[in-house]
Amino acid sequence: MIKVNKHIQIVRSAHSWLTSMSQESSDAILSVLSKHYVKVGVSIVNDLADLETLVTIKPDIVVLGMKFVPMNNALGQNDPNKIWVSEYLDEHGISYTGSSQMAHELEKNKPLAKQTVLDAGLKTSPFYVVKQGQGSELNDMHLKFPVFIKPANRGGGLGIDSGSLAQNLKQLRQKVQSIATNLQSDSLIEEYLPGREFSVAILKNLQSLELFVMPIELIAPPDKYGICVLTGEVKSANSECAIVVNDEPVKSKVITLATNAFNALGARDYGRIDIRLDAKGIPHFLEANLIPSLISGYGSFPKACLINNGLEYESMILNIVELAFARDYNVSNLAPDIITETAYTLPAFEAALEPLT
């Protein structure tokens, strides 16, 4: 097989709190891309100096596995002067996979993402934000119990456990304090949605520019208290059950909400939207992940691609990378996105091979 004469650099951080891509994911992506491209490497980016080194080697495409680096490492996630990797690459004329800085910033700030979706006329559960060290603000909260509490700026289920579902003010205060102490994060409090939960993978097809919107239902195993919550532990262990959505009316509503939320957040190319039903069966936006886990057989995004469209891991990775090349080669990505449930056919990689050589 003739390899494409292009240089791809996979970018992640060595800091767990900074990276959206694990070592396992990085290794798997490296293995796939090395079969198809002449030069593929991995850059570990922990600070601005590492970013500067990345742009000096001038890769043709960056596979984005992180969102930002702090200017002040001591402030970490809470640094108000973050350097958004996507924005930095834009400034240096380097294309990258996935969404731009604006969408990443919205996704990272979960309350802001919910408000953006709400402003677009979409459904999301009523919510309230408590800043670190300001537990007294709970006296002004007007949400109905039970409520669900999670960190306002973390992903991957971090900070979510059995205590995230609170039935009363005492339990709520305990969880808010735990998040502030252990994660140095504000708390996002939402009225609990008791219905089924869905994870929706969205992937644009390079040839048609259609969005393939692929929902799966996630069922968490019960914990020792009999509570079924997609905790960080459940996600890490990959122990949730992912099943195809056969209920067509529900599926249609979930697909529509996911697509509209994806567009409202300004996302592009690929990403994941999480949705849960309320007591009446109405879908509500939970959150987005625009750099989802990309490990074969692990995480909702690859599972949804395989379950819905038979899209294997290698083709999935190549499609994501080709979309970044398409922008680099001025292939229009401004056409209206079309919701489709038709089967995913030939990977765009073969069609895109000729103009890239």
**Which residue(s) pair with 62 in the sheet?**
9, 96
How far is residue 44's CA from residue 184's CA, in Å, rounded to a whole number?
25
Tell me if the domain spanning 197-346 has CATH number 1.10.10.10.
no
Query: Across the chain, which distance is largest between two alpha carbons, in Å?
Result: 65
Nearest partner of 305 among 252, 264, 351, 343, judged by Cα: 343
Q: What is the pTM of this model?
A: 0.89
Looking at residue 138, the DSSP 8-state letter turns out to be G
* pLDDT for the residue numbered 67: 96
* pLDDT for the residue numbered 138: 84
DSSP string, 154-202: --TTTT-SGGGEESSHHHHHHHHHHHHHHH---EEEEE---S-EEEEEE
How far is residue 124's CA from residue 130's CA, in Å, rounded to a whole number?
18
Looking at residue 71, the DSSP 8-state letter turns out to be S
Question: Cα-flanking dihedrals φ and ψ of residue 136, to 5°?
Answer: -65, -20
Tell me if the domain spanning 126-191 has CATH number 3.20.20.150.
no
Structural contact between residues 68 and 83, judged by C-beta atoms closer than 8 angstroms:
yes
Please list the rounded mean pLDDT of every run of 10 residues in the chain (357 residues).
Answer: 94 93 95 97 96 97 96 80 95 96 95 97 96 79 94 86 92 94 93 96 89 94 74 73 94 98 97 97 97 88 94 95 80 36 35 34
How far is residue 52's CA from residue 45's CA, in Å, rounded to a whole number?
9
* pLDDT for the residue numbered 17: 86
Nearest partner of 205 among 296, 311, 62, judged by Cα: 311
Return the ∠ at Cα 13 (arms to 11 and 19), rounded to 5°. Answer: 95
Number of Cβ within 10 Å of residue 239's Cβ equals 12
Domain ranges of the chain: 4-96, 126-191, 197-346
Q: 129 is written with which tokens?
A: 């934000």
* pLDDT for the residue numbered 249: 97
